[in-house]
Chains A and B, each alone.
Chain A
């Protein structure tokens, strides 16, 4: 458990609180977030889970606060400020020889940490499913570093030109090579294919196919 708590459920529930118009609970959460929540803790967290739940929660809260009149004001940057702080710490996971992110990060020390298992390899699904949050943060802040780090991961896996687009479920941060030959459409592989479908839908939408 982290020294001061990270409020996983609070941050992950912000968007639900806004959509359900639970203003009292939202107010308490926002106050806790501003006054208590700090990422300056000697705490190891999973890169993927922290990105999709904590960073994703903050970004969706920021978006909804600009859209829902009861949720907040258009000029409320509390969520975005926290999101930027967290993302800057998560960037240390991408400081690897290949650009494939480490499985974990010490957010206080801003240090990426390889997985204890599988020879330090990262899960393919986890490494490739950080796109939405990082790229949306670039869209909001104008800072391209988040976009580039996330996009580079896709380039590394794409450069392998795997037959039929099927990828093994582990990729090593040091080499960018796949580790083991096991391919799954389920755990450790699934969200990569989900991300590909999302890309395809987005491109079709843009091209109006």
Chain B
């Protein structure tokens, strides 16, 4: 810019085509937000209900009913091992003082389980049967 010249002032847009376009854009934005915002609010609020819908009461939950016996047998297996190796002691098993090697201990654990629950063979779930069959 030559020395001494003044900066031209920016004049307001008087082009009728441009002002009309801006107005249209503003109206469209307003309409879209009027639709999107309540929809977003509804989805956010109701998402908890959708999530809760997946969790039915325990007595109607077939997943839990199917696994209840498995949980019980696993607990009994753990209990049986405890009752043989650590009954009434402060810590479950003092492995340092166990004279048997761990592999023998593991075998014994399975033997206890099998002997304790042999009469319930029909009730043992397939996954527990696999575990029992998985002898080292």
Contacts and interface: CB of A to CB of B under 8 A. Distances in A.
A108 interface: no
Interface of A: 1-2, 4-10, 13, 16, 20, 22, 25, 28, 32, 36-37
Contact of B92 (A2, A4, A9, A16): A9
A29 to B, nearest CB: 9
Contact of B83 (A6, A28, A36, A37): A28
B72 A36 contact: no
Given A1-B94, A20-B72, A13 B88 contact: no
B75 interface: yes
Interface string B76-94: 1001001100111111101
A20 B75 contact: yes
A22 B90 contact: no
A36 B75 contact: no
Nearest to A28: B83
Given A16-B75, A20-B72, A22-B76, A5 B88 contact: yes
Contacts of A32: 87-88
Contacts of A16: 75
Contacts of A22: 76, 79
Contacts of B86: 9
The 10 closest A-B CB pairs, nearest first, are A5-B88, A1-B90, A5-B89, A7-B88, A2-B90, A6-B90, A9-B82, A20-B72, A5-B90, A9-B92
Contacts of A9: 82, 86, 92
Interface residues on B, range: 10 to 19
A136 B87 CA distance: 28
A10 B88 contact: yes
Contacts of B91: 1, 8
A1 B93 CA distance: 11
Nearest to A2: B90
24 contacts: A1-B89, A1-B90, A1-B91, A1-B94, A2-B90, A5-B88, A5-B89, A6-B90, A7-B87, A7-B89, A8-B91, A8-B92, A9-B82, A9-B86, A13-B79, A16-B75, A20-B72, A20-B75, A22-B76, A22-B79, A25-B83, A28-B83, A32-B88, A36-B88
Nearest to B94: A1
Nearest to A33: B88
A25 B116 CA distance: 12
A32 B88 CA distance: 8
A22 B83 CA distance: 14
A25 B79 contact: yes
A9 B86 CA distance: 9
A10 B78 CA distance: 12
